Amino acid sequence: MKIDVFKIEMSAPDDVRELKKLIDAGEVDPGEIIAVLGKTEGNGCVNDFTRALSTVSFRS
C-alpha cells in the first residue's frame, strides 16, 4: 500500500485552500484521506476551539 504525506500551509484553522489545490490537481483523492493532523497557533491545544473549526472545515 502506498501512503503519501503532505505538509500544507494554513493561514487560519479553516483555511483549506492548499488541500483543495492538491485535490483539484489530482494529487489527492479526498475519498482516500485517512488522517489529517494539524497544529494552530495558540494555547497548545488545551481548551482550543480551533480544533473543532479545523475539523469541520476539512470534512466539508
Does this model's pTM top 0.75? My answer is no
Question: Measured between alpha carbons, how far is 36 from 4 in angstroms, rounded to an integer?
Answer: 12
Question: Measured between alpha carbons, how far is 23 from 50 in angstroms, rounded to an integer?
Answer: 23
The predicted structure's pLDDT at residue 47: 62
**Residue for grid cell 497557533:** 41
Task: Write out pLDDT tens, residues 16-50.
Answer: 899 999 999 999 999 998 888 776 666 555 666 67
Alpha helices in 1-60 (DSSP H): 17-24, 50-59
Question: Measured between alpha carbons, how far is 45 from 10 in angstroms, rounded to an integer?
Answer: 16
Helices and strands per DSSP (H, E), number in the chain: 2, 0
